Structure 1
C-alpha cells in the first residue's frame, strides 16, 4: 500500500519518540498531503528521518494513530492478524471463565491499533470503529478475526459522527443474527445485552470490578441511590449483594424498561426497588425536599450530556455533582464517584472531591480507588488511554469547622 509522507513539527518529536500514539493535527506540517481517511502515512522529521507509520483518521483532537515504529513493517492483513492474535493470547484466561462471559478482547492503542476496540459477549463479537480511517480496514480486521476465533456472529458500531449524530445502521456484520437480548454473565450476575439497538448495548464492561466490589463489600443492608443509572446494572449488583432498597434515576425513558429487564433476568422483585425517569439534579432537589438520604450513592455520569433544561460537562460540573451527592448521603455512608473522561486525571478527580467536601463543610476519606480492569489494556506514556477513575469515598459524621 502506498504511504504518504508527512512531516512532524520539531516541538512534537519528544512525545512521539516516547511512544505517544495519537497523531495530533498541530503536530503535522503538511496535512494537505493526505487526502483520504484510511491512507497509510509515514511520519518523518523535518530532515526526513523516519519516526513511525500509521493511518490517517480523524478522531477527537487527533488525525490518526501511529501503528508501527519499524520502517519496513507493512500495514496489511498480516499486520492486523498479528495484532489481534497478540491481544487474544493475552486474554486466554478470560475465555476459560464460566462465571464471566463478557469482556474486552482488543482495546485500541493499548493493543497497538488506536481507534479500534472489540468486545466479546458469550460467543458474539462487537467491533467499535472510532473513525472513518480505521473503518477503511474493516475487511482486513474482520478477516483476521475470523482466522483466529469462531463466532456466533459479529456486530459493529460506527462511532464516528455524521453531523454530530451516531451512525445508526443495521450493525450486523457476519455469522447468524442474534435474537436479542442475549444473556451474558459477569461474576455470576446475568446481564441483558442488545448488540443491534443503537450506540449502547446495555452494560459498560469497564466497570466490572467496581460492580463486584459494591456487591461483595458495600451493599448488604444498605439503601442505594444509583444516578445516571442507564440500564440499572449497578442497582442489580447492589440488590444481589443484599441492599435493603435501590433507587435508579436516569433521564432516558428507555432506562425504565431496560432496568426492569435486568432485575427480572436475575429473579429480583422489581416492585421492591424504585426506578425513576427524571433528571438527576431534579431528583437531588426532590430527595432533599423529602428528607431522603442513602447509605450508598453511585455517581457514574457521562462525560457530556445535554437535556432540555441543562448541559452537564464532567470537567466543569463534577464538583457540583459531588456536592449534590454529599447532601443526600448518610453520615458514614459511601459515595462511589466515577468518571470516564480522559480530560480528568485521578489527581484532578481527587481535587474535585476535596473541594466539594470542603464547601459542604464535611469530612471524608477515600476508602479505595479503581481504574480500568486488565482486559482494558492501556498504552504506557499515553495517559488518556487510562480514562476510568473511580473513588469510594466515606462521608464522616464529623464536620469541618
Structure 2
C-alpha cells in the first residue's frame, strides 16, 4: 500500500520555482533547419530535435524560447527541452503576444469554460484540460466531483505549475488538487518521477463518489496514477447501453464497471464482467450495490481476458453484445505491427462468441493506430473467424478530449460498433 499523500501547499510566498514572466530581451533564439517550416506554419505544436539547426545560447529545459526560420524570421514561442525527441512544444505564433503568467491563466480559464455544459445533466466528472488540444502542452486536469487531479508531463509545464495551481483554486475552489502524473511520460522529458502528493487542500477521502450520466462511481484518486475511472468513454458507455436492453452482455477489460453499470441500468438480461485486477472487480461489485442495480444479473470473473475468451469458446458460451476495451497495445508507431496482431486475435475471439447478428463494441486507445487501420484489423479478424461484419457506428473520444485541427495526434481513442454474422 502507498502511504498517505504528502501535502504540499503552493502559494506565492512558499514557491521557489524560477520566475515565469520572461522578457523578450533575454529570450534565447532557436533556429530551424531550412525546409522544416511547413509544420510550424500549419500550427503543429511539436518541433523534433532533428529539425533544429542551432540554439543561440544555453536555455534551461522548460524555458520559453523564440523559434526562428533559417533566415532568422520569427515563427513561434515554445517550451525548450534538449532531453526530449520533441525539442520544442510550441505555445504561441503571434510575436507581439507575451508569454507570461497571464497567458497561462487565460488558456486555463478558456479550457475550463469550454467544459461548463459537460458538467450538467447528471455528470460531475470530466477532463478540464487536455494538454496540446487546449494549448497547454503537458498539462492534464481531471475533475472528480469536488476534487482535481493533475498530470504534469513536460518540463515547461512543470515550471509554471505554481500559476496553474493558483488559477485552479481561483476558478474552481476545489476541495483538493492531487498530482497523478504518468511517470513514463515524464521520463521522456528527462523529468524526475512524480510523487503521490496533494498540491492543495487536504487529502481526498479514500473513495470519492462521482456522477456520470446519472450513474454513481466510487473511485480512488489517492493511490497510484490511475483513478480506476476513465471519463473518455462517457458517451460510448451510454451509446452501447442503448443496445443492451434484454441482452446477454460480456464486458471485457471491465475495470471498475463503466460499460457494465450502464448496461445493467438499461435493462440488460445479464452482464458478465472480466478483468485481471482483483481490486477492479471488487470496486465494480461495490459500484453495483452503490447504484442499487440487480446483482443477480451480474457475474464478475477475475481472469486474463484472452484466456477467459478461449475458455468461453471451448465451453460453447455465447453472448448478444460484447465490449472489448483493452489497454493501450501500441504506445508508439514502432509497436504497431505487434499491436495489430494482438487486436486482431482479441477481436477474432470476440466474434466467435457472438450469437448470429450480435454486436461487438471494440476499442483502441492507441494513438499510433488510426481509424482506417483499426477497421482493417477488424476486417482481418472477421476473415480469420469466418464471419461477416457490418460497421454500424464509429466511436470517438468525447468533447472534453478535443482534437486540435493542427494536432491530429491528439485523437487517440477510436472504436467500432460491429454487427457480426
CA contact (8 A) 1:180 1:195 kept: yes
Aligned twin of 1:184 = 210
Cα contact 2:29–2:56 (8 A) shared by 1: no
Q: Residue deviations 1:229-288, cap 9 Å, x none?
A: 221221111111111221221222322212222222112244542222221111111111
Counterpart residue number, 1:130: 153
Seen in structure 2, the aligned counterparts of structure 1 residues 60 and 269 have a Cα distance that, compared at 3 Å, is farther
Q: How does the TM-score come out when normalised to structure 2? A: 0.86
The secondary structure found in structure 2 opposite 1:358 is helix
Please point out which of 95, 104, 118 is paired with 1:71.
95
Q: Secondary structure at the residue paired with 2:37?
A: helix
Distance 1:152 1:295, change over 3 A: same
Matches within 5 A, 1:307-322: 314-322=339-347
1:206 lines up with 2:232 in the alignment: yes
2:302 pairs with 1:297: no
SS in 1 for 2:195: coil
Off by >6 Å, runs of 4+ in structure 1: 162-166
SS in 1 for 2:44: coil
TM, length-normalised to structure 1:
0.90
Question: Structure 1 267/144 Cα, relative in aligned 2: closer, same or farther at 3 Å?
Answer: same
Q: 2:152, 2:181 within 8 Å by CA — same for their partners in 1?
A: yes
Please give the per-residue CA displacement for 1:91-116, whole angstroms capped at 9, x wherever unaligned. Answer: 22234x14111112111111111211
Deviation at 1:228, TM superposition (A): 1.6
Verify: 1:150 aligned to 2:173, yes or no. yes
Instruction: Tell me, yes or no, if the aligned pair for 1:156 and 1:173 is still in contact at 8 Å.
Output: yes
- Matches of 2:386 and 2:192, distance apart in 1: 42
Q: Kindly state the Cα deviation for residue 60 of structure 1 after the two structures are TM-superposed.
A: 7.6
Q: Which residue of 2 aligns with 1:379?
A: 404
Is residue 37 of structure 1 aligned with residue 61 of structure 2? yes
Give the direction of change, closer, same or farther, for the CA distance of 1:278–1:60 in structure 2 (3 Å limit). Answer: farther
Q: Which one of 237, 243, 253 corresponds to residue 228 of structure 1?
A: 253
The two structures, once aligned, show a CA RMSD in angstroms of: 2.5
Tell me, yes or no, if structure 1 residue 274 matches structure 2 residue 299.
yes
* 1:59-138 matches, cutoff 5 A: 61-95=85-119, 97-138=120-161
In structure 2, the partner of 1:24 is: 48
Distance 1:184 1:244, change over 3 A: same
Alignment of 1:343 onto 2:402: no
Q: Distance in 1 between matches of 2:330 and 2:129?
A: 27
